Amino acid sequence: MRIVQMSDIHVGSGLFDPGLLSAAIEETNALEPDLVAVAGDLTMEGYRWEFDEAREYLDRLTCPSVLYAMGNHDAKNVGYRHFEDVFGLRERSMIVPVPEGEAKVVALDSTKPDLDEGEVGREHYAWLDREFRGWDRGPRILIVHHHILAVPGTGRDVNNLRDAGDVMAILREVGVDMVLSGHRHVPYVWSISGIRVVHSGTVSTYRIRGTMPPSYNVVELGPEKVTITLKEPGKGEEPLASFAREPAKTSEFYPAFERYVRYDELPF
Ligand SMILES: [Fe+2]
Ligand SMILES: [Fe+2]
């Protein structure tokens, strides 16, 4: 399975470069991925015109399976309404045909209006669990804008996913293979408790940190190996990470999951 992961497009930013986004889209089309995951921050201020402009670019993607997640910038100025009008549901799951079967891909809205930090929220846990638990037809992939694990080279970290511990425990419990996130504008990969957590940089802005250029990721989930390549739009690429397809699970953790996380039961 081939995934192109891009995020932090930030249409409306003074540091947005349309040439970078166009190059990334053209390169993505040439790669013919099974899935394009757009991991949030499509806009800068959540304004309608920014969503419309982002849509014009992203409509050029030829991949039949494109899934979008909301970013904190998209949640500014009541932008979630425009996101829904222009890009559809903020939380959804999709079954994606892949060479090895079918991948289950879930996009979660981790934003709170006008806050930079994120939260999945207890009310979403049961749904998240139901989508993934028992899925055995192919990879289980979550797209969520905020980072669950800290990203190095990004300075002081005050806007991660606030319920990251609970969410990681759920992902481990239901056997999620991969999390695709953005938000920090620095590409980085962790492999922990069988979960590969892949962060993309900013694809089309110069809102960058440290040494990392504008970039996006190409993820190849092969039968034996997972490789993740960092792509600089219009320029080149370098390897970002690689793993055995089967994650090393030599550690056991014994206390029952329910001792840590309880799902809210909503009356509907
Ligand atoms: Fe961003
Ligand atoms: Fe963000």
CATH code (residue 108)? 3.60.21.10
pLDDT score at 208: 96
CA of 177 to the centre of ligand 2 (A): 23
Domain extent, residue 187, equals: 2-259
In a domain, 264, yes or no: no
CB-based neighbours (< 5 A) of ligand 2, an ion: 41, 71-72, 183
Q: For residue 68, what are the β-bridge partners? A: 38
Q: How far is the CA of 43 from the centre of ligand 2 (A)?
A: 10
Domain assignment of residue 151, yes or no? yes
What's the CA-to-centroid distance between 5 and ligand 2, angstroms? 15
* DSSP state letter for 100: T
Specify the number of domains making up the chain: 1
Distance 164 CA to ligand 2 centre (A): 16
Residue 265 resides in a domain: no
Give the model confidence (pLDDT) of 82-136 as tens digits: 999 999 999 999 999 999 999 999 999 999 999 999 999 999 999 999 999 999 9
Question: What residues contact residue 232 under an 8 Å CB cut-off, 6+ apart?
Answer: 213, 214, 215
d(CA 23, CA 26): 5
Q: Confirm whether 266 is domain-assigned.
A: no
- Contact between 132 and 119 under an 8 Å Cβ cutoff? The reply is no
Q: Is residue 65 part of a domain?
A: yes
The identity of residue 241, as a single letter, is A
> Residue 37 C-alpha to ligand 1 middle, in angstroms?
15
pLDDT at 205: 98
Residue 66 domain flag: yes
Q: Nearest ligand, CA of residue 181? A: 2
Which pTM was predicted? 0.97
CA-closest candidate to residue 70, choices 112, 123, 16:
112
Residue 265 has pLDDT above 90, yes or no: no
- pLDDT tens-digit map of 25-80: 999 999 999 999 999 999 999 999 999 999 999 999 999 999 999 999 999 999 99
Name the token pair of 257. Answer: 């999951």
Alpha-carbon gap, residue 226 to 244, rounded angstroms: 6
